């Protein structure tokens, strides 16, 4: 079985995190959930630091196995002030070391940011964790692939699927380290060169965006390896870091714009004629809010030419907006005056359409589609709250 490993320096809190995952029936068949002892974590951390030194000195490490190498998902709390060896250690430092110097799968950071729902929709791309959540949401079944009513941010991936896809991304990068990122992802070069500055600056090197390779990004962008770690890094390290960091860039900077890549619920909100079922039934619309590659209740064949074919690079089916908006096979493109707006909106914090009791907010995007909606659940912390009043 695959391993989910949990670590916090406070025993009581670590126990709570472990129990929140162990109680999820959806994980029982595929995952074994356990926590790391203080001693095991200390030894693992020492091994990671030894590997870091080895990489700087020789371009590789030879210290044998690390207990994190065969972990599918590593969950680490941010506040590690009680760690006896290093009181200044944080979960972010651990995330960097684990990502760069182990073969661990996904890294989930807990409580680095103290809000449940990010109203910017951009998340925290600077963090080396693949996902940042609060402890109250770690055990939310929607995060792990179980469909449940209530709080369910649309920007969450389904973690078991996301973990499987990470290995595919690593293979892609390992086989194409010196190919342009846009080519490997399946983007048009011209589109890559006109990405909004707030999106493309994450990739920043001295080259044009369409010319940046994975090697360039990991070694020179400032969002991959640190400068000293980059001097002698081998290709295996570059592939793992490049895959994880570009995946987060796609999820937290590209997808929120919804005018570079657009997903199904946002697409049918603009072009209702793409719906395959009864547009007067809200459940027809909710059928599009699925993250798996499955029947989305859409006439997707019309826009198949514009679908992102490298689908394992993103957490949901998406299409290139540049092509879709010019597709004359779509009624609203051909006859824009015939757009029939529904009585409901897509709520980003529920992953569902709702007809009433929703609130509008402004996401931190540069696209014309920055105005979005939330259901606004009681007991959920939204931040920055000012975006609800803009």
Provide the residue ranges of all domains of the chain, joining segments of one domain with +: 2-154, 165-256, 261-388
pLDDT of amino acid 147: 85
Residue 180 is encoded by which pair of tokens? Answer: 């342009």
**Residue 120 in 3-state DSSP?**
coil
Going by DSSP bridges, is the β-strand pair 261-263/318-320 parallel, antiparallel, or unpaired?
Answer: antiparallel
Distances (CA, A) of 174 to 5, 72, 118, 171, 221: 26, 19, 32, 5, 18
pTM for this model (two decimals): 0.95
More reliable by pLDDT, 357 or 213? 213
Any alpha helices (H) in the chain, and if so which ranges? 11-22, 38-58, 91-101, 135-138, 159-175, 181-185, 189-193, 197-200, 214-220, 227-230, 235-249, 264-270, 282-286, 321-324, 331-334
Q: How confident is the model at residue 374 (pLDDT cuts 50, 70, 90)?
A: very high
Give exposure, 359-377, as e/b (b: 16+ Cβ within 10 Å): eebbbebeeebbebbbbbe
The CA R_g of the chain, rounded to the nearest whole Å, is 21
Quick one: angle between helices 159-175 and 235-249, nearest 10? 130
Give exposure, 73-106, as e/b (b: 16+ Cβ within 10 Å): bbbbbbbbeebeeeeebbbbbbbbbbbbbbebbb
Mean pLDDT of all residues belonging to the chain: 93
Residue 117 — φ and ψ, nearest 5°? -130, 130
- Element holding 3 (H helix, E strand): strand 2-7
Return the number of other C-beta atoms located less than 10 Å from residue 149's C-beta: 8
Residue 72 near residue 163, CB atoms below 8 Å: yes
Quick one: how far is CA 38 from the chain centroid? 29
pLDDT at 57 over 90: no
Quick one: average pLDDT of 305-320? 96
pLDDT at 258 over 70: yes
Residue 222 near residue 145, CB atoms below 8 Å: no
Q: How confident is the model at residue 128 (pLDDT cuts 50, 70, 90)?
A: very high
Residue 331 near residue 275, CB atoms below 8 Å: no
Pick the CATH number of 2-154 from 1.10.1200.10, 3.40.50.300, 1.10.260.30, 3.40.50.2300: 3.40.50.2300
Residue 73 is encoded by which pair of tokens? Answer: 């998902």
pLDDT of amino acid 286: 96
């Amino acid at each position: 079985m695959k391993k989910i490993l949990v670590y916090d320096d406070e025993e009581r809190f670590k126990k709570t995190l472990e129990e929140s995952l162990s109680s999820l029936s959806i994980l029982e068949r595929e995952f074994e959930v356990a926590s790391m002892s203080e001693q095991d974590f200390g030894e693992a951390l020492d091994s990671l630091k030894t590997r870091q030194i080895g990489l700087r000195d020789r371009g590789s490490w030879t210290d044998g196995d690390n207990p994190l190498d065969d972990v599918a998902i590593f969950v680490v709390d941010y506040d590690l002030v009680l760690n006896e060896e290093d009181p200044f250690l944080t979960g972010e430092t651990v995330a960097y070391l684990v990502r760069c110097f182990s073969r661990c799968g996904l890294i989930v950071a807990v409580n680095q940011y103290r809000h449940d729902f990010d109203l910017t929709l951009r998340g925290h791309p600077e963090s080396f964790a693949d996902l940042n959540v609060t402890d109250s949401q770690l055990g939310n079944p929607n995060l792990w692939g179980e469909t449940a009513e209530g709080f369910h941010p649309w920007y969450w991936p389904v973690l078991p699927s996301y973990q499987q896809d990470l290995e595919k991304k690593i293979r892609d990068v390992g086989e194409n380290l010196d190919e342009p990122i846009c080519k490997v992802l399946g983007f048009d070069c011209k589109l890559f060169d006109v990405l909004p500055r707030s999106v493309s600056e994450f990739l920043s090197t001295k080259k044009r965006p369409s010319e940046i390779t994975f090697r360039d990004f990991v070694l020179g962008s400032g969002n991959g390896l640190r400068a000293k770690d980059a001097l002698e890094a081998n290709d295996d390290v570059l592939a793992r870091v490049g895959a994880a960091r570009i995946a987060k860039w796609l999820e937290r900077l590209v997808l929120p714009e919804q005018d570079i890549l657009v997903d199904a619920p946002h697409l049918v909100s603009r072009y209702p004629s793409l719906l395959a079922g009864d547009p007067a039934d809200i459940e027809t619309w909710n059928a599009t809010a699925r993250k798996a590659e499955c029947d989305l209740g859409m006439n997707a064949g019309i826009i198949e030419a514009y679908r992102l074919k490298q689908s394992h690079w993103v957490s949901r089916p998406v299409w290139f907006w540049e092509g879709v908006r010019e597709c004359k096979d779509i009624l609203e493109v051909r006859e824009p005056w015939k757009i029939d707006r529904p009585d409901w909106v897509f709520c980003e914090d529920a992953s569902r359409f709702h007809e009433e009791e929703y609130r509008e907010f402004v996401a931190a995007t540069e696209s014309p589609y920055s105005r979005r909606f939330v259901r606004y659940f009681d007991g959920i912390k939204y931040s920055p709250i000012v975006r609800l009043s803009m």
